[in-house]
Amino acid sequence: MNICGYYPESINEGEGMRAVLFISGCRHRCPGCFNPETWNFKYGEFFTLERQHEIIAEIAANPLLDGLTLAGGDPFFSAEEVLGFIHELRTVLPGFPIWIYSGYTYEELTALPGSPEWNLLTQCQVLIDGRFIEELKDTTLPYRGSSNQRIIDIPASTNGSEVFLWQPTAL
């Protein structure tokens, strides 16, 4: 698996201050994608175990972080490898909140319980789902690019048959 970027601190990809890891590779190929070079699975750097440990150590050492966001590309196209990284992260930071972006919908990801994609989803707390649709582009929306995309509270949604949208933390 390759990564095409890492931001140690960002306020754009989720609530609070977040580390952001961009996973290379996407087959959705949404027209109007702001970063089409990330579609290539070979783009960026190979995500070695050493690099994973460096990033995890950096995250663990930063008391300002509220969580990690996985973006891309689309992390679900490399679900097994991303799960390996999360396993490494959880050995150091067991309850660290993870947000994840995907062009897949929540319903598509939960259609096959036990699949790598489903397992990856269940390791995260928030999913921003759905393909970017250029005709629905809305730059006023927090954390997403088009109005069809949802911000889903994964733990609340996996406990029943209803999809629960994420609610911002009250200040």
Specify whether the CB–CB gap between 129 and 142 falls below 8 A.
no
pTM of the full structure = 0.95
Torsion angle defined by CA atoms of residues 72, 75, 77 and 80, in that order, rounded to the nearest 10 degrees: 150
Mean pLDDT, the chain cut into blocks of 10 residues (171 residues total): 97 96 95 91 97 98 98 97 97 97 96 93 97 96 96 90 88 59
DSSP labels for 54-76? HHHHHHHT-TT--EEEEEES-GG
Give which of 145, 112, 139 is closest to 30, Cα–Cα.
Answer: 145
